[in-house]
Structure 1
Amino acid sequence: LPLDPDYPAARLTYMLRDAAPVCAVTDRAGRLPDGTDAEVVVLDGLDVSSHAWTDPARALTPAHPAYVIYTSGSTGRPKGVVVPHRAIDNRLRWMQHEYGLTAADRVLQKTPSSFDVSVWELFWPLREGATLVVAEPGAHKDPVHLARLIREQDITTCHFVPSMLQVFLGTPEASGCAAALRRVFCSGEALPRETASAFARALPGVRLHNLYGPTEAAVDVT
């Protein structure tokens, strides 16, 4: 269950109470609201010397939950979606079969972990031996920084929501990314024809893939 510390305290409290995790892990104290039943484990200064060095004995099956992602709540209260290992494994296998990462690829991870696109950004390259490049927090909002990062890190694969892709394409720096990029994925919103046309002009030779799917279907379905 990823928790974004930038969310309002009321939303974080609701998610923690609703999901009822056995513990919440944070990098430093004060990042999560009080008033929930979850035990908070603070990594900063954590002493693990007295803990066992072996993995706990626990039998997992493909039906066990892999993660919980909360929807935006645009139609009401946010809803926690439990995605099992089987579903996200199937999703990642499909993506590899369809788009075929290799060890020469470099995938940009920039989506906040509270959104399910971050799942394939993180695990697809790690499964296939590609390079994972993690952007600094908040970088997904800065198109000029992203363009520089794509060029400097030779990013071959990345994702944009269509509205941010339009902003990105409007920067003079975007056209300089064509030398590195091989494929760009879009999802999360409807992709306007005008944005797709602008993409073709700014990044000739780069493939644009328009995906769609609800959180309940393990990120994308088509």
Structure 2
Amino acid sequence: MVTVWNVVQAQVERIPEAVAARAAQTYTYRDLATLVSDLGERIAAKVRPGSLVALDASNRVSGAVGILAAIAAGCAVLPLDRESPAARRARVLDDARPALLLRELAEAEFALEESGLPSPPRQPSLGEVAYILYTSGSTGQPKGVMVPHDALVDRLAGLAEVPGLAAEETVLALTALSFDISLAELLLPLTVGASFVAVPDETRADPFAFTELVAAAAPDVIQATPSFWRMLMASEWTGASGTRLWCGGEPLTPSLARQLVPRGRELWNLYGPTEATIWATAARIDSAERISLGEPLAGVGVRIDDNGELLLYGSGLAHGYLNREQLTAERFPQGDTPQGRRRLYRTGDRARLRPDGSLEFLGRLDSQIKLRGHRIELGEVEATLEEHPAVSQAAVLLQGADQPELAALVAFVVQRAEADIQSWLKDRLPSSHRPARIIALPALPRTTAGKVDRVALAACLAVGDQAVPPTAVPSRGDVHALVAEAWRQTLAADSADEDANFFDAGGNSLLLAVLQKRLSDGLGVRVPIREIFRNPTIAGLVDSILRTKGPS
């Protein structure tokens, strides 16, 4: 069985002194191999081959070293979501029951901690599994996708061909490890003799600092979600003419494509669920009028059933879901293909084949959504809401899907009593999964079949939006007035609560960049994004600005 570590080792032997990664310091292939081997030996001394190792690390060099070391030790690796609340993280760990936790102490330095969790009675064999990633689950319980070594190796080889990555090229590594596309940034370069440049979290969140890093690093490839690209557009990023831009994780809209095409050497639209290993299709976009999912990557087969659902098959499919035999059987059935009976994956996405053979995305068949790159099962949010002792029923909608920069989750609840539900959700759901608004109703509307009438809820939401009365904002001088007005405009709100948290009020990384630009333009000085992060209320932000700028 060939693993990605075997492929990287071949590059180590071929070009040991070539640059493999740049972060706070530069690492050669030999440096990286030494770190991986040392950590792999420490892991092997603690657990048996086939064990599951959880990884709590950044997307920088630590991420690559931790993943490769676990694989080198014959283990499967579970990258943890560092931004998940403690309760959700505990659910993941309780379901996966890793034998060991690798906790990042510093760049490429780890503490090895026994998880303290007993192995489940029927611990599955993970000898062929490279990694497990947890995605949102419709029942309220996140589910672990088990990706085997051959799927990872084959997919990386396919991506090296299309969209393409050559030896000595450079990729930016900016995606969190809890997203499988991070593997295209960390591991793909190492399999072809290229290198990656690690993007610190604070730089990723600041479009101006990110722009400076891109100018200095001159990468050949930048991969990001449409939401991240919109954040850059909002900061008036002028582009990088020599860079190939990879875009995926959400639908690429014509308006965004029109902005991106002239800002890079090539623009690629990529599509693929976690269950099909990183990306499954790719399309080079030359015109905003011709946006498609493109054609399958090497080793990927596609089929569209009678209901319009896109089915994938081939070497890149996951083994299934950890501890979810029934769900695995439902989502990975056997089916007919031009190559005979094959194992399929039902994506839940609607698509059609265009006359030229390319795929066109038509939306979802279920309640799963993509919001700013995050895969969210509305059922998970609803189930979590209904765990609250004051909530008897809940339904969640995506508002503003046609305006990605303003899109947000809205929850409707039937309450037994008054309660601060938002504060309760902070301990149980990632910020990406929390509703921007919670609306209490005496009962949820139902269809004649007894199901929640989501069309009626959407209509209720529209009426409710028109009925919100504007309220006055207290003035504390010109700076306060400017901040409050920028806040209202950015959130498209009729009022601005001085002590409301920007992110709880519907803000996100894209709107953060919009707010930063409005403030910087209005004040005539650059307001760092980190200051908005540290002071996410109007009152706090005004105080911060006055401390650094002084009263106007």
Opposite residue 248 of structure 2, the aligned amino acid is S
Q: Pick one of 7, 24, 27 that aligns with 2:104.
A: 27
Shift of 1:97: 1.6
Instruction: Name the structure 2 match of 1:45.
Output: none
8 A Cα contact 2:137 2:143, kept in partner: yes
Alignment TM-score, normalising by the size of structure 1: 0.78
- Matched position secondary structure for 1:175: coil
Aligned residue among 18, 23, 37 for 2:117 = 37
Q: Deviations over 1:76-102 (max 9, x none)?
A: 421110100111111111111223322
- Residue 17 to residue 125, structure 1, CA distance change in 2 (3 Å): same
C-alpha distance in 2, partners of 1:94/1:177? 25
Does the Cα contact within 8 Å between 2:171 and 2:221 map onto a contact in 1? yes
Taking the aligned partners of 2:238 and 2:247, their CA distance within structure 1 comes to: 18
For residues 143 and 38 of structure 1, the distance between their equivalents in structure 2, rounded to whole angstroms, comes to 44
The 8 Å contact of residues 13 and 36 in structure 1, kept in 2 or not, is answered as: no
Q: Does 2:211 correspond to 1:131?
A: no
| Distance in 2, Cα, partners of 1:210 & 1:38 | 43
1:177 deviates by 2.3
Count of residue pairs the alignment pairs up: 191
Cα root mean square deviation, aligned? 2.5
Residue 160 to residue 221, structure 1, CA distance change in 2 (3 Å): same
| Deviation, structure 1 residue 221 | 1.0
2:163/2:268 contact within 8 Å kept: no
Q: Which one is further off, 187-196 or 144-153?
A: 144-153
Q: What residue in structure 2 maps to residue 12 of structure 1?
A: 89
Q: CA deviation at 1:143?
A: 2.1
Paired residue for 2:272? 213
More strand by share: 2
- Higher Cα Rg, which structure: 2
Deviating above 4 A after TM superposition, structure 1's stretches of 4 or more consecutive aligned residues are none
Partner of 1:166: 230
Paired residues of 2:171 and 2:197 also in contact (CA < 8 A): yes
Question: Which consecutive residues of structure 1, in runs of 5 or more, have no partner in the other structure?
Answer: 40-60
Q: 2:261 aligns with which of 194, 197, 200?
A: 200
Q: Does the C-alpha gap of structure 1 residues 187 and 36 become closer, same or farther in structure 2, counting only changes over 3 Å?
A: farther
Q: 2:240 aligns with which of 177, 182, 186?
A: 177
Match of 2:187, SS state, is: helix
Equivalent residue of 1:145, what SS? Answer: helix
Residues 171 and 219, structure 2, Cα contact 8 Å, conserved in 1: yes
Alignment TM-score, normalising by the size of structure 2:
0.33
| 2:179 equivalent to 1:115 | yes
The percentage of aligned residue pairs carrying the same residue is: 37
Could you report, residue by residue, the CA deviation over 1:34-71 in whole angstroms, capped at 9, with x for unpaired residues? Answer: x96179xxxxxxxxxxxxxxxxxxxxx9x711001111
**97 and 75 in structure 1: CA distance in 2 versus 1, 3 angstrom threshold:** farther
Question: Contact 1:16 / 1:38 at 8 angstroms: preserved in 2?
Answer: no
